[in-house]
Copies of this chain bind each other. A is one copy, B any other.
Amino acid sequence: MRCKNTGFSFFAGNVINKSQSATGVGRAILAERITLSTIADKLGVSTATVSLALRDSPLVAEATRERIKEQAREIGYIYNRRAASLRTSRSDIVGVLVRDIVNPFFAEILRSIEKELGDKRQTFLLCNHDDNLEIQENFIATLMQFGADGVIMSPSVGTTPQDVERIEKNGIPVTMIARTVEGTDIPSFIGDDLKGMELVTSHLLDLGHRDIAIVGGTTLTSTGRARRAGFEAAFKKLGLPAKALIDIETPYDKSSGYEAAKTILKAEKLPTAVACCSDTVAIGVMNGLREAGLIAGKDISVTGYDDIEEARIAAPPLTSVSDGHNEIGRQAAQALIAKINGDTSFSSINVVPPELRSRSSVCPPQS
């Protein structure tokens, strides 16, 4: 099973130098590890009392609590979470799965999750699944072994409803961010990708663009599909044939955008605008185009999606769509806490409305 021998061996033969203790013994002693009963023995109380005192239980008398806490501090007691967790079946661990933490979109979501859950003393186990099902599965197995309290995930491409339900069957509540898995009722917190992409595409169409390339994402994810649908919806709304001049599917990163720009430049007919499905891709595209002398906002238009922090300071500042990812992270975290506490009243799809952020990477079509 999952318990291969790793060849690791580790003996915690701690040597604690007690010379700073109030009694000033000043002699290094070989310490057995310090536990609740070390404190209990020293003070002539029971471990039960010590345990309660350290948790600020109102059951123990004020004076006793003080004595115990003082002693604990003095001898450098360290709370053993594994023991506690074994007893309570609560681990204070939350698993977070995203495609790639290097992607600022996820990094920023993670920050808002961290902010929301941090004061609940939860620790995060993070996984970049890289849209690889095996990595995702292994990590989920690890989470179950650690007895995680909950999971916030942006599921990998190809995740099945069964994959997710298996987690919940094991008593671990799940919420989803940015993506969803069709066929489950797991609460998902997502932007309105269709609406958002329609917003930005309409913006381009209104300026007179007709030959537009769409770059980034893949139809294998709900996100990729929805953004392409939004792209087409904008055309249809104006009664135009809904067709991208070029459609390039790529991962959401800068290098891919850079490569996509090279591909676009080789096309027989150049687009007047490139609508990207993520800011990172858009920045890569702008860099790639610039090498061929095409400046975004002057010679060609480029738009992004997500409105990450860097969009503001890109050169030129990037027109994008704010999909409220901070809000997504916050809500997903809150819902997870509620689920952990037994609340089950969640609608499965929760949409955060998008907003257009118009900046200078866009101009009317140039011939």
A binding-site residues for B, Cβ under 8 Å: 1-17, 54-56, 69, 72, 77-86, 89-92, 101-102, 104, 107, 120-126, 141-142, 144-147, 149, 169-171, 254-255, 258, 284, 286-288, 290-291, 309-310, 313-316, 337, 340-342
Q: How far is the CA of A89 from the CA of B35 in the complex (A)?
A: 14
Give me 14 A-to-B residue pairs in the complex whose CB atoms sit less than 8 angstroms apart, sorted by A's number: A6-B120, A6-B121, A6-B122, A8-B340, A10-B90, A10-B340, A78-B141, A80-B86, A81-B145, A82-B147, A83-B86, A124-B125, A254-B310, A254-B313
Additional pairs, 19, CB under 8 Å, beyond known A5-B55, A10-B171, A123-B125: A1-B54, A1-B77, A1-B79, A2-B79, A6-B92, A8-B90, A9-B341, A10-B340, A12-B171, A80-B86, A80-B145, A80-B147, A81-B145, A82-B91, A82-B147, A102-B104, A124-B126, A254-B313, A286-B315
Q: How far is the CA of A20 from the CA of B327 in the complex (A)?
A: 40
> What are the residues of chain B within 8 A of A11 when measuring CB–CB?
89, 171, 342
Contact B121 A170 (CB under 8 A): no
Q: How far is the CA of A206 from the CA of B43 in the complex (A)?
A: 72
Contact B287 A13 (CB under 8 A): no
Interface-centre pick from A3, A13, A16, A124 (highest chain B CB count, 10 A): A3
Contact A82 B86 (CB under 8 A): yes
Number of copies: 2
Q: How far is the CA of A330 from the CA of B133 in the complex (A)?
A: 26
> What are the residues of chain B within 8 A of A82 when measuring CB–CB?
82, 85-86, 91, 146-147
In-complex Cβ contact of A56 among B4, B16, B55, B147 (8 A): B4
Contact A72 B123 (CB under 8 A): no
Write the nearest CB–CB distance from A362 to chain B, whole angstroms: 16
Contact B89 A10 (CB under 8 A): yes
Contact B1 A69 (CB under 8 A): yes
Write the nearest CB–CB distance from A94 to chain B, whole angstroms: 10
Contact A8 B92 (CB under 8 A): yes
